[in-house]
Structure formats: C-alpha cells, structure tokens
Structure 1
Amino acid sequence: MEKIDIIEKKDTTTNTNAKKKAAWQEILSSFNSLNKKPRDMTQIVTQWRNTKGLVKTRESEYRRARQMTGGGPPPPSPPQEDLELIQSLPNEFVIDSNVFDSDSIYIETIKQSQSTATEKMMSESGLATTEIAIIADSEKSTQLSNTPDVEENPILSTPLAATKVEKHTIKRELYKPKHKPKQNNKIADNYEEQLFLLTKKCKENKEKREDELHNKRMAILDLEQKYWEKKLKNV
C-alpha cells in the first residue's frame, strides 16, 4: 500500500508521470522477485484493475445484503484486505445503495470475467491479496510505461486550412437537336420536284387520251353521217 498514493494520483504533469513510472517499475521488480513466473507491466496493471473491481463487487454485495429484510443472520463482513483498500481509496469505492442502480449489472458482468483470471494469478504467485494489492495502477494511468508524456511529446496536427479538398466536377451538356444535313434537304427538294413533274405528266397523259378519244368519236360520227347521206341518195 505504500505506493498507492503515487500511482493513484489523477495529476498528469511530467513530474507526476515520472514518479508513477518509477513506482510501477519498483512494484514490477518486487513482484517478479517474489514469483516464479515473471510478469510484464501490462499484466501488473491489468491485475490491479481487476483487484479493485473485485473489491468493489464484494463491497456492493455486502451493502445489499445488509439492506435485505426477512430475518436471518447478518452477512459476513468484508475481508480485512478489502477494508484496507477501501480506506486507502475512498473515492474509488463510492457505491450507490440503490438496488435498481445500473452499477450492479456492471459489477456482476466484470465479476464473471475477472474472477477466474485473478484467482489463477493469485494461486500461481502464492501471495495474499494484501501482497498483490500494492502492485497497482490507476484506471486513468493504464500502461504508463509505454505511454509518452503529454507535455514532452506534443502531438502535431495538420491545420485544417492547409488540407486540400479535391473537387469533382461533372460536366453536363444540354441536349441540342441535331440539324439535318444539307444533303437530306437536297433529297427532299428533289423528291418534291419529281413528284410535281410526275403529277404534271400524268395530267398531260390524261388530257392527251381524252383528246384522242374525242377525235375517234368525231371520226365515227363523220363516217355515220356520210353513210346515211349516201344511203338517202340511193333511195
């Protein structure tokens, strides 16, 4: 618990981050010296977060059990290790007593996913909860050993004004009716002229046939007149 005040600080200045890194490195070295199977920084940080989640789960269950009615013996008190952790981090373990609060659903969810991994790690290390509770990490300072300081390495961003925006223009042409070529106009003119000439020729041929027919009738009438005149003379 001696390093908990350092690693749980919410300050993110350069000096604070440097102290957190040094504290985490010391915790990692101490943990690996007491265990047969060494761990890396990511595993240590994850284990600390899981430990806080399990303590919060047990504390929430204990408070709900105390509020239940119907008789029976009182629920057992939380382990001494949990109480020490809660006293060291009072702001991290503010649990709402409302039974309908959605925090209880979240607690039950993380309990199932974290309890197996935590118990396995604790059995391998052979340490009590109080011994691994000091290997901690704040939820907001996860993986600080691999994360550069904000002030030392500022992130350079490209100004939005310098970004080129490509514009895709779509050209649309208005529909224009196609003009008939001069050759088509010439053919149309020739067709009208030929039609006119053909009509004129048909009319002339008709008049000619009518004239010929009239002349033949007149000739027949002349022959008939001469025939009767001659016949009358013979009488």
Structure 2
Amino acid sequence: MATKKIRGDNWTAEDKTLLKELVRENMNCIENKNTDTNTNKAKQNAWINLHECFNEMGSVKRSVVQLKAQWSIIKMNAKKEKTKERREILQTGGGPHRPAEALGSDDISVWLPNEFVVDHNIFDSDKNKFEEIASTEII
C-alpha cells in the first residue's frame, strides 16, 4: 500500500516575503542559467545558505526542496500576472500601460527581466492588426 503524503504547513505572506528577500540577495547565483559543475555547486551552496537563513528567521522550518518549490510557484504566479496585465492592455479599452515607476521593489519582473520577455510572432494576426490600427492616421 502507498503511504499517505504528510502535508506541510501553509505558507504565510511573511514567509513568502522573507523567501523573496533571501532569494533577491542571492539572485545572481540562484537564477544563473548555466549548468556547468561549478555553477551547479554554487547554486546548491546558495540554496543551503538560504535554507539556513530562512529557518533562523522564519516562523516554520522548511526544507530546501520546499523553498525551491515555493520560489517556483512565486515566479509562476508573477508570470501569470504579467500575462494577464498584457492581455488587458491589448483589449479594447484596456487602459494605459503601468509605468516602470509604479512597479515596486517587491515586483519579481524587475529582478528577473530575462524571465519576463514577451515573445513576438510575426504570424500572430491579432497582434499585426493591432499594430496596423495603431500606426494608421485618421484623416
């Protein structure tokens, strides 16, 4: 028989904020896209140090696996929000674009600009129509 998985404690907003701040301090190492031996070792060491700091300051003790999983969820949710914002802007009456000054220091897209790159497809007919309408002048 399969054993039932033990459910961990819920993540509080304070724990998530603490995780974001600790990751932000080690951003260059943790979010490095290289996968050579030295880089992977540095990433492991950074996560271990982050784990120790988190458990010293956090309300609940977490494992490295839990920290990595929560960081992935935080990034995924931030990407969903950016996509939602972009879709609203492209809709009719979508309103003005949110300026960069309005982005807080807590916004992950500012920390990870390469993660939030919008792909452009020349074959996207909706996007092409939007650009044509925006570029034509009404006489």
Which protein, 1 or 2, shows the higher relative CO under an 8 Å CA cutoff with sep ≥ 6? 1
Equivalence for 1:2: 25
1:64–1:99 Cα contact (<8 Å) kept: no
Cα distance in 2 for partners of 1:75, 1:65 equals: 9
Partner deviation per Cα, 1:160-180 (whole Å, 9 max, x = no partner)? xxxxxxxxxxxxxxxxxxxxx
Equivalence for 2:134: none
Equivalence for 1:152: none
Cα distance in 2 for partners of 1:74, 1:43 equals: 38
TM-score (normalised: structure 2): 0.59
SS at match of 1:9: coil
The question of 1:41 aligning with 2:64 is answered yes
Post-superposition shift, 1:28? Answer: 0.8
The question of 1:68 aligning with 2:68 is answered no
SS at match of 1:37: coil
Partner deviation per Cα, 1:120-172 (whole Å, 9 max, x = no partner)? xxxxxxxxxxxxxxxxxxxxxxxxxxxxxxxxxxxxxxxxxxxxxxxxxxxxx
Structure 2: tracts of 5 or more residues without a match: 1-23, 127-139
Post-superposition shift, 1:30? Answer: 1.3
Q: CA RMSD in A?
A: 2.6
Equivalence for 2:35: 12
Cα distance in 2 for partners of 1:58, 1:75 equals: 14
Percentage of identical aligned residues: 35
The question of 1:58 aligning with 2:81 is answered yes
Query: Structure 1 residues 75, 91: CA separation in 2 closer, same or farther (over 3 Å shift)?
Result: closer
1:28–1:40 Cα contact (<8 Å) kept: yes
Equivalence for 1:180: none
